[in-house]
């Protein structure tokens, strides 16, 4: 039986041969046998083609909107170039394309000239799709008694306007150079949307009941939610947005239904305990 270091070297050589990243170069102890119908070289080529097709299939599944925007042939060429430069080292294909946005940024075709809009569209869309996968696969609020609008008053008092939020682990804010959220949502619905014109847009991603939610925001709501997740009180965040406190409160109630917050910490009136509350049930009692 080969020694571990020798076996490791053979495995690396076989991996490189199948991935097309190098010549066969296997030691004499290892033989790819010919079959009745295929030579050893043909069998290796079959493995190579199958390997490439499987990886590209996984990349298209991870980036369906980018694949739609570029077209299958161009996307496959880009994805294969990426895989040659940054081969996967993980046991799961779920992480295969996690560095694609960084690869696109590092290899911008306009790096040596005037900045163009279309590379930004590609990079922004790739980052959004990667963020979508992180929210989908990561921790959410399932199984937790997270706040909803039904548990919050329609008209807030001073204590609620002084409240802070504890964001859900799945909450993400995304800023892009075009309407990437509606484009991604349309592709995932099986539609064939046209590429929108470049324009700054804002998006919040969250998850509730195992479903990822993408919600478009305007600049004021984006600033409001960004300040809230950083720890500002609702009234403070509203002033920065800027937005009327009551309007900000309405957004907090709506975002609670979308799974953006794990807890809301209401500030107690003067003379009462202001210690942090551990659960939503205690908060709303």
Q: Predicted confidence band at 112 (pLDDT cuts at 50, 70, 90)?
A: confident
pLDDT of amino acid 10? 72
DSSP, residue by residue, the chain: ---HHHHHHHHHHHHHHHHTSS-----TT------SS--HHHHHHHHHHHHHHHHHHHHHHH-HHHHHHH-HHHHHHHHHHHHHHS---SSSGGGTTTTHHHHHHHT-TTTTSS--HHHHHHHHHHHHHHHHHHHHHS--STTS----GGGS-SS--HHHHT-EEEE-TT-EEEEESS-HHHHHHHHHTT--PPPPPP--EEEEEEEETTEEEEEEE-HHHHHHHHHHHTT--HHHHHHHTT--HHHHHHHHHHHHHTT-EEEEEPPPPTTS--PPPSSHHHHH-
- Residue 199 scores a pLDDT above 80: yes
- Residue 192: what pLDDT? 95
Two structure tokens written together for 245: 């406190």
Between 153-157, 185-189, 210-214, 281-285, the lowest mean confidence (pLDDT) is in 281-285
Whether the per-residue pLDDT at 83 is higher than 90: the answer is yes
Q: Domain extents for the chain?
A: 138-284
pLDDT range class, residue 93, cuts 50, 70, 90? confident
pLDDT at 135: 96
Q: Higher model confidence: residue 127 or residue 91?
A: 127
**Token pair belonging to 215:** 């919600």
Q: What is the pLDDT of residue 2?
A: 52
The pLDDT of residue 119 is above 70: yes
Q: What is the per-residue pLDDT for 195?
A: 92
User: Can you tell me the mean pLDDT for 202-206?
Assistant: 97
**More confident: 20 or 86:** 86
Lowest mean pLDDT among 87-96, 170-179, 203-212: 87-96
**In the prediction, which pLDDT does 136 show?**
94
Residue 19 in this model has a pLDDT that exceeds 80: no
pLDDT in tens, 219-260: 999 999 999 999 999 999 999 999 999 999 999 999 999 999
The pLDDT tens digits for 127-180 are: 999 999 999 999 999 988 889 999 999 999 999 999 999 999 999 999 999 999
pLDDT for position 145: 87
Kindly tell me if the per-residue pLDDT of 280 is higher than 60. Answer: no
* Residue 211 reports pLDDT greater than 60: yes
Q: According to the model, what pLDDT value does residue 274 have?
A: 42
């Amino acid at each position: 039986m080969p020694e571990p270091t020798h076996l490791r070297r053979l495995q690396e050589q076989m991996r490189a041969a199948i991935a097309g990243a190098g010549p066969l170069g296997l030691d004499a102890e290892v033989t790819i046998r010919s079959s009745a119908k295929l030579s050893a070289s043909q069998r290796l080529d079959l493995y190579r083609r199958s390997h490439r097709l499987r990886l590209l299939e996984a990349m298209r599944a991870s980036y369906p909107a980018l694949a739609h925007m570029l077209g299958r042939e161009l996307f496959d060429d880009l994805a294969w170039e990426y895989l040659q430069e940054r081969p996967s080292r993980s046991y799961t294909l779920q992480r295969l394309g996690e560095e694609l946005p960084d690869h696109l940024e590092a290899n911008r075709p306009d790096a040596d000239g005037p900045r163009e809009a279309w590379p930004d569209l590609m990079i922004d869309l790739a980052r959004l799709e990667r963020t979508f996968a992180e929210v989908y696969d990561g921790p959410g609020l399932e199984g937790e008694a997270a706040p909803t609008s039904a548990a919050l008053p329609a008209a807030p008092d001073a204590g609620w306007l002084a409240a802070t939020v504890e964001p859900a682990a799945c909450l993400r804010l995304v800023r892009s150079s075009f309407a990437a959220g509606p484009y991604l949502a349309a592709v995932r619905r099986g539609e064939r949307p046209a590429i929108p014109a470049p324009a700054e847009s804002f998006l919040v991603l969250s998850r509730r009941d195992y479903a990822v939610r993408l919600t478009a925001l305007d600049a004021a709501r984006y600033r409001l939610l960004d300040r809230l997740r950083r720890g500002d009180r609702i009234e403070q965040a509203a002033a920065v947005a800027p937005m009327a406190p009551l309007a900000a409160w309405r957004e907090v109630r709506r975002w609670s239904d979308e799974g953006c917050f794990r807890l809301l910490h209401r500030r107690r009136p003067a003379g009462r305990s202001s210690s942090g509350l551990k659960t939503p049930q205690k908060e709303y009692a």
